[in-house]
Amino acid sequence: MKQVDVEIVEVSPRDGLQNEKALISTADKAELINRALAAGLRRLEVTSFVNPKRVPQMADSEALMAQLTRPDDVGFIGLALNQRGFDRALAAGCNEVNFVVVASETFNQRNQGVPVAETLASWAVIRNQAKAAGLLTSVTIGASFGCPFEGEVPASRVLQIAEAVMQHAPDELAFADTIGCGVPTQVTQLLKEARGLSSDVRLRCHFHNTRGTGIANVVAAVEAGVHAIDASIGGFGGCPFAPAATGNVATEDVVYLLERMGLRTGVDLDAVIAAAHWIAGPLGKSAPSALSRAGGIPA
């Protein structure tokens, strides 16, 4: 396996597509995933196992998984919000589960339909089932830097949730700026305190570029020692329940940034840019990323 300094988790098949109006065919999703694999990405959030009535773009999760071939060194991550989602991810053949709890009570109830306490109780059960089935586990704490309904989310609240999650420790703990409102000082502070909760859990961050702070937040997270960063080819993406949330930080922008900083990602920049241009076709719009327009530094 290639040596990397920062792992990039490719979330375009899930977060990148879920809020897009154009319904993408299962074959095109498989093509996107295969292009990501060919570009060197080794962990991919391939889909979410959620109610198709609420997220129509994710209605073909099982069919998509059935079309894919997972190389041995690759993680196919299924996102789950509850027991039913986990059961489906497991049955569909995901080898990693990403479970979500939201830091704000209102947003958790809107997103998962239950109170935070109930989501945390589900996690305790799912964690043991996932471990027994040999799956890697991660928990993402949504709205860690601000909430569309409650506004400011204090770091103390996020840490309280993180502490509860760590009672049933996942392999990786992630903080998500679901609505793209965070700034680097928040990232630095939160990660420092999260590191204090456990020295051995891997940390990951998930940023949206809604207010132009996404890439700055990536730098702060990497400097704070995160193991992994979520990114989406082309910078597409959004959350159906977070009004006006825009794209994830773009994979090509993050790869360019990190590689130029001397941090290895194992990802081929040109192949990612080509994939961004390709998926722009089925989506019917051009990629919002900087690198898909500017390209890398001239040779």
CB-nearer residue toward Zn ion: 15 or 96: 15
| Separation between Cα atoms, residue 256 and residue 104, nearest integer Å | 33
Q: Shortest Cβ distance from residue 19 to Zn ion (Å)?
A: 9
Q: Which stretch binds Zn ion (CB under 5 A): 8-16, 20-28, 65-73, 257-265?
A: 8-16
Does position 15 interact with Zn ion (CB under 5 A)? The reply is: yes
Q: Shortest Cβ distance from residue 86 to Zn ion (Å)?
A: 19
Q: Which stretch binds Zn ion (CB under 5 A): 9-17, 29-37, 84-92, 253-261?
A: 9-17
Residues 155-174 that bind Zn ion (CB under 5 A): none
CB-nearer residue toward Zn ion: 7 or 15: 15
Q: Is-contact 249 206, C-beta < 8 A? A: no
| Number of Cβ atoms within 10 Å of the Cβ of 243 | 10
- 239 is known as an active-site residue: yes
Q: Which stretch binds Zn ion (CB under 5 A): 2-10, 14-22, 123-131, 270-278?
A: 14-22
Question: Closest CB to Zn ion belongs to which residue?
Answer: 15
Q: Shortest Cβ distance from residue 292 to Zn ion (Å)?
A: 19
CB-nearer residue toward Zn ion: 15 or 172: 15
CB-nearer residue toward Zn ion: 16 or 75: 16
**Number of residues engaging Zn ion in binding (CB under 5 A):** 1
CB-nearer residue toward Zn ion: 140 or 271: 140
Q: Which stretch binds Zn ion (CB under 5 A): 11-19, 109-117, 182-190, 264-272?
A: 11-19
Residues 63-102 that bind Zn ion (CB under 5 A): none
**Which residues are known to be catalytic?**
239
* Binding site residues, Zn ion, CB under 5 A: 15
